[in-house]
Amino acid sequence: MPLLRLAFVVLAIALSIPATAPSAQTEFGVTEIADYRLRADVFAQFDRASRLIAPVTRAEPRFEREPLFTEEMLLSGDVLPMAIALEARLRNDVALADALRTANLTPREYTKFTLALVAARLAHGFVKSGVIRAVPPGVHADNVAFVDAHQADVEAVLQELGVE
């Protein structure tokens, strides 16, 4: 699966580089996702929300047809449309929005955290496995360090969500 690994690297880099589209065309600012930093307090909210979202996505048939997280979505490399679509889905789906409210997290924050976490986890894996020697320029080393410091918890919550 070297091609899949390469796609993950591309995603990590894409998440760290500001998009060229003007922010007026999207709901997210040009650098809002690229500049996002993972924090422990938000991770606690993300973890709680994810553990409420996971049973919903497993129990409801509509998520079999249209999963919340797909490999295609996470590997598209087109971060702004992906972020807009995920945020809209989280905001407009009653069960998902309720889970986020219960965890005191907005759809926007959950979206940014998810994308930053997945990118940092991928970069962390590449560095740890020796595929790359260091965190590539443009990928936030502090996000990769966050994943390293919370690796077991990160793996557990992503596995719960089906993002493996």
pTM: 0.81
Residue 27 has what DSSP assignment?
S
Q: From CA 84, how far away is CA 107, in angstroms rounded? A: 10
Number of neighbouring beta carbons within 10 Å of residue 109: 19
Mean pLDDT within 103-129: 92
CA distances from 98 to 22, 137, 159 (A): 31, 38, 21
Query: How many domains are there within the chain?
Result: 1
Confirm whether 20 is domain-assigned: no
CA distances from 61 to 64, 67, 74, 86, 99 (A): 5, 9, 21, 18, 18
Q: With a cut of 90, say whether residue 12 has pLDDT above it.
A: no
Confirm whether 110 is domain-assigned: yes
Residue 30 has what DSSP assignment?
T
Confirm whether 141 is domain-assigned: yes
Confirm whether 25 is domain-assigned: no
> Where does the pLDDT of residue 146 fall: very low under 50, low under 70, confident under 90, or very high at 90 and above?
very high
Q: With a cut of 60, say whether residue 84 has pLDDT above it.
A: yes
Confirm whether 22 is domain-assigned: no
- Select from 116, 103, 101 the least CA-distant residue to 49: 103
Mean pLDDT within 123-138: 85
> Where does the pLDDT of residue 103 fall: very low under 50, low under 70, confident under 90, or very high at 90 and above?
very high
Instruction: Quote the domain boundaries for residue 112.
Output: 2-12+39-161
Confirm whether 149 is domain-assigned: yes
SS3 (DSSP) at 120: helix
pLDDT, position 53:
97
Q: Higher confidence at residue 104 or residue 15?
A: 104
Confirm whether 75 is domain-assigned: yes
Q: With a cut of 70, say whether residue 49 has pLDDT above it.
A: yes
> Where does the pLDDT of residue 94 fall: very low under 50, low under 70, confident under 90, or very high at 90 and above?
very high
- Select from 163, 63, 56, 49 the least CA-distant residue to 117: 163
Q: With a cut of 90, say whether residue 32 has pLDDT above it.
A: no
Q: From CA 71, how far away is CA 163, in angstroms rounded? A: 8
Confirm whether 97 is domain-assigned: yes
